[in-house]
Amino acid sequence: MRISVYVPLAVSAVLAVLAPRLAHRLPPRRAAWALACAALVTTAGWLGALALLAFTALARIPEIARQGAWSAAVLSAAEPVRLFVGVAGAAGLLAACTGLAVSCVRQVRAASRIRRECARLPGDAELVVLDDASPEAFALPGGLRAPGRIVVSRSMLSCLDGREREALLAHERAHLRGRHHLFQAVWRLSAAANPMLRPLAGSGCYVLERWADEEAADRVGDRSVVARAVARAALAASGTPRRSLAATGGAVPRRVRALLAPPPRQRRLPLPLLAGGLLLALCCGSLADATMDNEEILDAATYAACAPPLAAMPPMTIPPGDQAGDQAGDQPVMSRWRRSAVARPKAGSLMCVSNSRTWTVLPRRPSRKALNSVPSTTGSW
């Protein structure tokens, strides 16, 4: 646990550096899915690592140790991480959860605002043309049942010719058909929980625009037409505020260069995608290893908390005729077993709680309720 718990944190930093390269090396559709999956797995690993660090610090508090029925002294002696590191992990976990909650509220409010805006638009058609002097073109995603809408101003349409208008509408339809707003929500939530993933969110927005550009090029059949439509729309809307899922979003010069170049090749298993998959597998494996190590330490601490009462109990005698008893009659046969069990506090050891006539085998991490339910000559613990 001393090293493996930090691997998810390092993977987040590495992914923040590699995300822009993945956005340029992979085809847009594949890059969007790869970045979304990477954001989900890395965020889960980030929160899990912070939770483990926070637990190692909080579990050493005597009041919490008494409630959890484990030994705070054993946890302090094991010291899987430094105390100040655990406190920093607890503070980071609190900040991550707070940022995630705030981002969730913002996403819900934005979705509600978009639904209200869709309901106020005139007509029921997918395309809505506004008589507005401000050049705008964007997509408003719908809900589970309500379809999305495409909003274009007459000023924007006047800047484009016939084929460029077709490319612009195909671009916005690609945003709606691909549910690109869900990808944006995943990246925003991940960046709120893990600030190191903010470069990934920026690269993701560029990838979504490239995805819509490629689908528009397939629809129109001419990549140069889409490149001209994107460039003219961006120049016309240069003085207006940018909207989400707009044709003028992302890095427009890079988008135009990509459209003027040959279409990206569809490789079966690109090397960057394979490297990213191995990186995420390393993140999951290290987090699982750290969790198992922490469980073993907690098992030892729980055993140490229960071992002193067990060692102080009187030897057990088994009545004559019992199948588990000794043929010689009432003999303290369990005292030797109890001493040997208490002498090896390791994970997986069973604990025997007995009185003068019965014995009970409890799980390796018994709860306080389970211990209190067993009769004992020394009282309940």
212, part of any domain: yes
Q: Is residue 377 part of a domain?
A: no
pLDDT reported for residue 249? 67
Angle between helices 7-25 and 28-58 (to 10 degrees): 170
- Would you state the torsion angle of the CA atoms of residues 163, 166, 170, 176, taken in this order, to the nearest 10 degrees? 160
- Looking at the structure, do residues 197 and 271 belong to the same domain, yes or no? yes
Q: Domain boundary at 245, 268, 286, which?
A: 286
Q: Looking at the structure, tell me whether residues 233 and 334 fall in a common domain.
A: no
Q: Is residue 105 a part of any domain in this protein?
A: yes
* 104, 212: one domain: yes
For CA atoms 372, 374, 375, 381, the dihedral sign is: negative
Q: Give dist(CA 158, CA 27) in Å, integer.
A: 32
Contact of 184 with 208, CB cutoff 8 Å: yes
Query: CA-CA distance, 255 to 214, in Å (whole number)?
Result: 10
HSE-up (13 A, CA, CB side) for residue 31: 29
d(C-alpha 61, C-alpha 69), whole Å: 12
Q: 3-state DSSP call for residue 105?
A: helix
Question: Six-digit token pair at 296?
Answer: 């073993």
271 and 331 share one domain:
no
Tell me, yes or no, whether 201 and 322 share the same domain: no
Number of folded domains that form the chain: 2
Share of residues in the chain with pLDDT > 90 (%): 15
pLDDT at residue 271 in the model = 62
Residue 378 lies in a domain: no
Q: Give the pLDDT confidence of 264-282 residue by residue, as tens digits.
A: 877 665 666 676 677 778 8
Last-in-domain residue among 286, 301, 330: 286
Instruction: Report if residue 125 sits inside a domain.
Output: yes
Classify residue 38: in a domain, yes or no.
Answer: yes
> CB-based contacts of 39: which residues, under 8 Å, 6+ apart?
186, 187, 190, 197, 200, 201, 204
Residue 305 falls inside a structural domain = no
| Residue pLDDT, tens place only, 8-38 | 888 888 888 888 877 787 888 888 988 888 8
CA–CA gap between residue 163 and residue 302 (Å, rounded):
72
Q: What is the DSSP letter of 195?
A: G
Domain span at residue 243?
A: 4-286
Rounded Cα–Cα distance for residues 52 and 269 (Å): 34
Give the tokens for residue 103. Answer: 């981002």
What are the pLDDT digits (tens) for 318-344? 444 444 444 444 433 333 333 333 333
225-248 tens-digit pLDDT: 999 998 888 888 776 666 666 666
What is the DSSP-derived secondary structure letter of residue 27? Answer: -
For the cut 90, the answer to whether the pLDDT of residue 252 exceeds it is no
**Same-domain pairing of 137 and 178:** yes
Separation of alpha carbons 212 and 248, rounded Å = 12
pLDDT at 250: 65
Average pLDDT over all residues of the chain: 75
Pick the last residue of a domain from 268, 286, 304: 286
pLDDT of 344 reads 36
**Residues 141, 203 within the same domain:** yes
Element (H, E) at 362: strand 359-362
Q: Is residue 30 situated within a structural domain?
A: yes
227 and 279 share a domain?
Answer: yes
Provide the H-helix boundaries in the chain. Answer: 7-25, 28-58, 62-68, 72-78, 83-120, 154-158, 162-177, 180-193, 198-220, 223-236, 252-260, 271-311, 333-342, 368-372
Q: Is the pLDDT of residue 189 over 90?
A: yes
249 in the same domain as 357? no
354 and 320 together in one domain: yes
pLDDT at 317: 44
pLDDT in tens, 295-314: 777 777 777 666 555 445 45
Residue 103 has pLDDT above 90, yes or no: yes
CB 274 within 8 A of CB 26: no
Query: 348 is written with which tokens?
Result: 């997986």
Considering the domain architecture, whether residues 172 and 73 belong to the same structural domain is answered as: yes
Same-domain check for residues 181 and 79: yes
